Every structure is written in C-alpha cells, then in structure tokens.
Structure 1
C-alpha cells in the first residue's frame, strides 16, 4: 500500500513539472547552443522591480541610493558628489546632447536592439543611437585603454549566463542620486570616477524575460562593490526609432546654462 501511494505521489509531481515545462516556452538558442539574446528589448527602465507595498520606490531611470548609502569610503562622497556649477556641460551633459555614457544609458527609458553572432553581441541603443560591440569569447581587456563614454566591454559565458565586464570609462555623471546638497548646503551632482568597473549578468527567465543584474565597483568611491537587479522584456514587434537630440537643442553654439533649458 505504501508503494502504491508513493508511485501515485511521484506520478502527480511528474505531471506538474511536465505541465509547467509545457507552459514555459524554451528559450531560443544559437546554433552553438548558447542562449540567443537577439531582438528588441525593453530595458531595465521599462520594468524596474518594485517590492509589494513599496511606496518609496526609486525612479526606474536611476539606481537605488539606499543600496550604496553606507558604502562610501572616507572621502568617497567628495569624489561622487561634484559641486553644481550652473554649466550644464558639467551638471547634466545630456541636456546639451552630449553622451550620457555607460552605465547611465542602460537606465534610459528607450528600447535597445541586441544582435548576436557566435563570437560577438552588438547592442544598439535607441537613445542617442549609441552602440556597444561586445566580444563573447572571454578575451581580456586591451592593456592600453583609451577612456571613453561607453568604455571597453568584453563578455564570457558561465553556463547559460552572459557576463559582460566593462572598464575604461570616463569620469562622468552617474545614474544614481538626484542632485543633492553638500555639507555647506551647496547643490551637487553625482559622478562616477575613472576607476569604475561594471559587471552585467544576464540570464533568461523564460523565452521573453531576462534577469539583468548590474554590479558597480568603483574603488575610489565605495568600500566594496554593490549590485542591483532588474529585468528586460523581449518585444518581437518593436523596432528602433530615429532619435535626434540636436533638434531640441536651443542654445547658441551649444553653450547652455540651466536657464536656457528652462526657457
């Protein structure tokens, strides 16, 4: 009798798992067996994860300051918080159509298209039409890196997880805190340092959803790395649209101050 009930239980469990598998379409894969990330995705800003009952959730277009609030090293806040100058080239360069840079661009509320080949992934961002070419063969970064807005990215596979490692980033405004106040009451704007090291980890949850974790390691500012989790959704019918930032730039010769943008 015991064997009968055990067999019945195992049969029921097997049926449940079979049904679950049937309801969750298998993820797409490349000919080499690697998960296929090709397609147009709604980035993290479209699907920021908010806990149940969380009425104090941060904007999906920035990182959550609560995660790193206690991780500043001595003097780190002085590196992170730059004094507000009123010159938007320093305070908010994207208002002048200057690049937002990485990692800030991943939290822009625009779609992104991923194109995958056996050895590379190309990410096309609708916002400002920036792009990244990411080799996925596990190669190291070049020894002599030129500091750029998007940095140097190299990828590798850990099973079905795509890991992207990025360094070589210019010191630039960070998608973190809103402009704040320094100890003297002066307005500030957050910047990351030129030592920023970013690690992205992407893994399919199902056929149209990707778990996206980003880890920020900036040893000039923080005592240790910190991470934040997001999700990305695949939209097969979407396409990238034209984005021309300069059409809305009303400042003479690109020399803007805050008052120009408020006109």
Structure 2
C-alpha cells in the first residue's frame, strides 16, 4: 500500500500515453521496443530487481464482465466508478482499527484503481475459452477447499495450493489478495523468478539447452528462455505435471472454484518486455488442447519496487491444517448421521 499511488499513477500514464497514440482508445497499445535496457556484464538485457504485482491487486477482474464487450480499457466514467469502489475497500482497514476489530481490511490488500477491463486479452471477449469434453471431465473430478459443500477424507481431496505445494502456472503470475512479491535474478545463461506465494523459484536457463525429456513432469513445468530484440525475454514452458494444479484461482473475477485442470499437453509462452527502466509489460499465451477448446492470453503491467520486502510464507504453520480439515469433515458428517 505504501507505493500504490505512485505505481497506479505510473500505470495510468503508461496506458494513457499508449492510448493517445492509437486509433482505438479502448484497446491496449502493443509493447514498445523503443527502450533499450542496460546490459549485464555478460551482455544480456538487465531485468534484475523487485517486480511485485501488488499494485495490480484489487478490482480488475481476471475475466472481463460482459458489459465491457471487447473493450480492454475503461472509459473515464467507468474508471471513476472503480476508483470510488477501491476507496471504499481501502477504508475497511481504518474502520476496523477504529472499532477494535480485525477482518478483511487487515487481511486483504487493495491497490489503486487502473483502467483495465480484464487481465485476459484473448479471446477478444476477455473470457476463458470453453472446456473440451475431457477438460470438463477433469474439472468435475477436481477437489479443493475452494469448492463449497465438499467432504475431505484424504490428501487427494485437496488441490496443490491447499497442500502448500504450488499455486501452479499461470496462476502464480496473477495478483492475489496478498503475497504478490516477484524478484528477478540473473546469472550467465540463467534467469530466476522468485515468487513470494509458496516461496517458489522458477529457474529459466537461457543458455540454449534443450528441454528435459517429456516424461519428466514438474508442477511449474520446464522452462527455457531466449532473448528477442533488445528488450524482451521469451520463455517457453512445457512438461507440466498433470493433477490438481490451479491456473487462475483466487484472482478477482476468476472461476470461484479451483476447477481448472492442467494436462501434459499444456504449453506456456511468456514475454517479458522491458519498456522502461521501471516498467515491464508481461504477456503470455496458455495452450492446453486437452482442457481448452482454444488458447488464451493475458497481459499485466509490472512496476519496479526494489523496496518491497518478502517475508516468510507460512502456508499453514505446523503442517496440521490438512489433518484438521479431514478430522473436522468426518466429525461433521458423523454428527449429521447421528441426528437423522
């Protein structure tokens, strides 16, 4: 929250400047190639630093509400309405402090409003594509604490995020209500992305090495990076481990239940465009023909914040919550049976 105003203003200037130069002010401008970032001592574009996406957390939905149609940017009137809604959310903390209570105002971080109508940019309507029949079957079979009315009897009744294993991809690249820190580290032939949520680190070789054998699946996939133009890192990720791994759960406007499966055919292509000393436009396309009828894409505007501090991600202290869910669920069902 300490830098939300600065970051929001920078984002507004970025979008406004691009919109002024294009014919359609309702659409996002393409990332510019004008900026030439400084180079590392070994000659690669230098993306190192803190790039938290907490400034994107708030009212921007993952999927676009139907009333916006194919528009990627809000009108001035719509933006003002969102800004007012954000201001009301920000007031929750002060209200709780004055009342001596602790609720969502203390728990959920809210950033300043921006003009995006959704994070999804393709398909044009900003909605996730339809599931294939197999995708729907896999989705229906998924289990999660995010789903209402579910019973828990064993560890496979929980998704990978419930179990503090991973938030998965591309979900980990979207804002949540907290723990939105991202740091980029570089070494010769390697880029590393440190994620605050679950404290995962994505290791991305840029040395031209081939992907691991297909049968070696990983929760975050196997990534390989190449440099495009003079300001862009392209990352190609395959070899995803199938299973209960979320792709979008938690972000405002995403499906309410953790019901988006990942198959072995999933393929993620990301581009990190450094368009200013303190600005990266992050874009990706997710293709999973087993699950979705067509690929889908998203875009987020990152802002540098090297002062952002990452603290311990204590997912569930003592590693007892899975057991607690199971014992509570069994006790609840036993009580229901006894009352019949």
Q: Same fold (TM over 0.5)?
A: yes
Q: Does 1:178 align with 2:246?
A: no
1:104-126: per-residue Cα shift (whole Å, max 9, x none)? 22225420111112310111112
Q: Which runs of 5+ in 1 are unaligned?
A: 1-23, 181-187
Counterparts of 1:135 and 1:169, CA distance in 2? 17
When residues 69 and 241 of structure 1 are mapped into structure 2, their CA distance, relative to the original with a 3 A threshold, is closer
More relative contact order, 1 or 2 (CA 8 Å, 6+ apart)? 1
Q: 1:89, 1:256 within 8 Å by CA — same for their partners in 2?
A: no
Query: In structure 2, what is the equivalent of residue 51 of structure 1?
Result: 73
Is 1:256 aligned to residue 265 of structure 2? no
CA distance in 2, matches of 1:199, 1:212: 11
Contact conserved, 1:156 with 1:163, CA < 8 A, in 2? yes
Matched, 1:241 2:311: yes
- Provide the rounded CA distance (Å) in 1 between the counterparts of 2:296 and 2:200: 26
Give the 3-state SS of the residue equivalent to 2:260 in structure 1: strand
State the distance in 1 between where 2:122 and 2:324 align: 32
Q: Which one of 215, 218, 222 corresponds to residue 292 of structure 2?
A: 222
Matched, 1:196 2:196: no
Q: Matches of 2:129 and 2:35 in 1, distance apart?
A: 41
CA RMSD in angstroms comes to 3.4
Change (3 A) 1:64 1:144: closer
The alignment's TM-score, normalised by the length of structure 2, stands at: 0.57
Partner of 1:143: 213
CA distance in 2, matches of 1:215, 1:247: 35
The answer to which structure has the higher strand fraction is 1
Larger-gyration structure (1/2): 1
Mean alpha-carbon deviation: is it higher for 27-36 or for 111-120? Answer: 27-36
Rate the CA distance shift 1:206–1:95 in 2: closer, same or farther, 3 A: same
Partner of 2:190: 120
Corresponding residue number in structure 1 for 2:225:
155
| Length, aligned pairs only | 226
**Gaps in structure 2 of 5+ consecutive residues:** 1-33, 61-71, 83-115, 144-149, 330-340
Q: Deviations over 1:168-214 (max 9, x none)?
A: 1122222154246xxxxxxx722222221111111112111100001
2:283 alignment counterpart: 213
